[in-house]
Amino acid sequence: MKWETVIGLEVHAELATQSKIFCGCTTAFGGEPNTHVCPVCSGMPGTLPDLNRAVVEYAIRLGLALDFTITKHCKFDRKNYFYPDLPKAYQVSQLYAPICRDGRMEIHTDGKKKTIGIRQIHMEEDAGKLVHDPHAPKGGRTFMDFNRCGVPLLEIVSQPDFRSSAEVIAYLEKLRETLLYLGISDCKMQEGSMRADVNLSVRRPGDELGVRTEMKNLNSFKAIGRAIEYEASRQIAVLESRGKVMQETRRWDDDAGKSFGMRSKENAQDYRYFPEPDLLPLEIDDAWLDRIKANLPELAHEKRERYVRVYGLSESEASVITVHKNISDLFENVAHNSGEPLESAHLITGEIMRLMNDTGTLPEEVRTDANKLSFVISLVLGGAINRNAYKEVVEAVFTKNADPESYIAEKGLMMVSDNTIITEAVTAVLAAHADEAADYRSGKEKVFGFLMGQVMKKLGGTGNPEVTKKTLQELLAQSR
């Protein structure tokens, strides 16, 4: 009989608020160690937290987008534990009344739809960062950087509804897309602003849930996929040799391609949670909820639907463009400025995607000026430059933020439609390639493309294709 893998995810997303959750310090990533701190977030005795409203608002945005029930009387709790990255020795979090409960997300894998239940979203504060220096004398030393202390986090806890790594990745991708479109997190996994804990067990289909292990803080989709495959086969091997899976926290070592047991899993009692006495319970009224609902940004799937309906894009173009909010923003700006949504869509899905590929540019890194692109579109549609020149100018704008007007002038890319110049070029080419011209006249029509190419070359690629073609046809017919 086969084994079934059961997975539940706990995802942490750092919020993109300007300031921290309980003080005015910046949430900016990095910085000189211990410069983004104050008495509140460095845990000095006698300080009091002051809740950042934007954190609550962002949590509600995500809750509304994913169909959660919002907890109107919601509270914070203290989770007590000592660790050197947590100067207060407790983390303010939510256990008893998390802000959002019972949401869901629809995912697609292998053409199949599935709904993943999401148990809750709660708000909490991030801890600092420990930097280990293994080369220091006496076996190493550890530095503490509190800049990240108090950066707001949402923890999004799923039901154990996943059955494969493909489902997990599909969920994480859609969750990231949603967080980005809602503008509430930058989701940079490499900077730790989105990280996932994977809870995994195996069982015979139909049995009760098996004993699970937890792998913490996985920070790339690839590592998550590999960790899941490894851990599922490890547990199956344990069970098939009549052993027992221990409930424990394991560390995934992506270089080694293995997970290692770290500690037996603690439970809620171990943390001595109690209601946070320094913060009042939150009352979330309908007026506030309605206001957030009314200002909810458009999500990726809503954009896709609108692009097809309003602009007449194909489904596939619409989904390429919504791959990242940065790209759909670029598209919307170019479409709006140029008034040419279809041409703008072709530009993004064609040239811009090709250039991103060639230069290894990620969607979030694209900084191309929408005004310049819409100007270049107006030039090609207005007949001032031809398609070859169009591609060249777009590339110059993309790679070096060139100014289209001066670039075109400098490179002489304005389209030549002037009959005298084109006639001159055609005459010269026909004289230089008299044999091919004769071939054409005796019925070898294929030669036309070659002659056309020669004329274009002579015109530096800037000939108006229609005028050039017509002139060539006329001159070939005339001197027959």
Question: Interface residues with Zn ion (CB under 5 A)?
Answer: 23, 25, 38, 40-41
**Which residues, at least 6 apart from 79, have a Cβ–Cβ distance to it below 8 Å?**
90, 91, 92, 93, 95, 124, 271, 273
For residue 210, the one-letter residue type is: G
Interactions with ligand ADP, residue window 258-287 (CB under 6 A): 267-268
Closer to ligand ADP by Cβ: residue 30 or 117: 117
Please tell me whether residue 344 adopts helix, strand or coil conformation: helix
Mark the segment that binds ligand ADP (CB under 6 A) among 4-12, 16-24, 344-352, 411-419.
4-12
Backbone angles phi, psi at 4, to 5 degrees: -115, 135
Any bridge partners for residue 104, and if so which? Answer: 117
CA distance 152 to 249: 24
> How do strand 248-253 and strand 213-218 relate by DSSP bridges?
parallel
Greatest Cα pair distance, the chain, in angstroms, is: 100
Q: Which of 183, 177, 187 has its CA nearest to residue 297?
A: 183
CB distance 356 to 399 below 8 Å? no
Closer to Zn ion by Cβ: residue 23 or 300: 23
Q: How far is the CB of 218 from Zn ion (least distance, A)?
A: 28
Interactions with ligand ADP, residue window 335-354 (CB under 6 A): none
Closer to Zn ion by Cβ: residue 25 or 396: 25
Find the residue with minimal CB distance to ligand ADP.
Answer: 8
Q: How far is the CB of 214 from ligand ADP (least distance, A)?
A: 7
Q: Which does 330 bind (CB under 5 to 8 A by kind): ligand ADP, Zn ion, none?
A: none
Q: Which of 457, 473, 297, 441 has its CA nearest to residue 388?
A: 457
Q: Which does 327 bind (CB under 5 to 8 A by kind): ligand ADP, Zn ion, none?
A: none
CA distance 175 to 165: 15
185's tokens: 């997190």
Tell me if 159 contacts ligand ADP by CB under 6 A. yes
- Residue 321, classified by CB atoms within 10 Å of its CB into exposed (0-12), middle (13-18) or buried (19+), is buried
* Of positions 160, 363, 460, 461, contacts ligand ADP by CB under 6 A: 160
Q: How far is the CB of 97 from ligand ADP (least distance, A)?
A: 15
Mark the segment that binds ligand ADP (CB under 6 A) among 1-9, 51-59, 104-112, 369-377.
1-9
Closer to ligand ADP by Cβ: residue 246 or 409: 246
356's tokens: 């991103």
* Of positions 10, 57, 254, 436, contacts ligand ADP by CB under 6 A: 10
Q: Which does 8 bind (CB under 5 to 8 A by kind): Zn ion, ligand ADP, none?
A: ligand ADP
Q: Which does 289 bind (CB under 5 to 8 A by kind): Zn ion, ligand ADP, none?
A: none
Q: How far is the CB of 356 from Zn ion (least distance, A)?
A: 38
Interactions with ligand ADP, residue window 438-467 (CB under 6 A): none
CA distance 385 to 408: 9
3-state secondary structure string across 243-269: CCCCCEEEEEECCCCEEEEEEECCCHH
CB distance 69 to 36 below 8 Å? no
CB distance 347 to 374 below 8 Å? no
Q: Which does 23 bind (CB under 5 to 8 A by kind): ligand ADP, Zn ion, none?
A: Zn ion
List the end-to-end C-alpha distance of the chain, in Å, as a whole number: 82
Q: Which does 120 bind (CB under 5 to 8 A by kind): ligand ADP, Zn ion, none?
A: none
Q: Which does 199 bind (CB under 5 to 8 A by kind): Zn ion, ligand ADP, none?
A: ligand ADP
Q: Which does 38 bind (CB under 5 to 8 A by kind): ligand ADP, Zn ion, none?
A: Zn ion
- Continuous segment of H or E residues that includes residue 302: helix 300-306
Please tell me whether residue 402 adopts helix, strand or coil conformation: coil
CA distance 295 to 300: 16
Tokens 């490890």 belong to 234
* Of positions 147, 201, 322, 349, contacts ligand ADP by CB under 6 A: 201
Q: How far is the CB of 124 from ligand ADP (least distance, A)?
A: 13
* Of positions 17, 71, 147, 158, contacts ligand ADP by CB under 6 A: 158
Closer to ligand ADP by Cβ: residue 29 or 271: 271
CA distance 199 to 9: 6
Q: How far is the CB of 247 from ligand ADP (least distance, A)?
A: 9
Mark the segment that binds ligand ADP (CB under 6 A) among 155-163, 184-192, 371-379, 443-451.
155-163
Interactions with ligand ADP, residue window 170-199 (CB under 6 A): 199
Interactions with ligand ADP, residue window 85-114 (CB under 6 A): none
Mark the segment that binds ligand ADP (CB under 6 A) among 34-42, 147-155, 205-213, 369-377.
205-213
Question: CA 132, 137, 138 angle in degrees (round to 5)?
Answer: 90
Q: Which of 218, 196, 161, 156 has its CA nearest to residue 4?
A: 161
* Of positions 151, 182, 184, 200, contacts ligand ADP by CB under 6 A: 200
Q: How far is the CB of 30 from Zn ion (least distance, A)?
A: 16
Tell me if 8 contacts ligand ADP by CB under 6 A. yes
- Binding site residues, ligand ADP, CB under 6 A: 6-10, 157-160, 199-201, 209-210, 212, 267-268
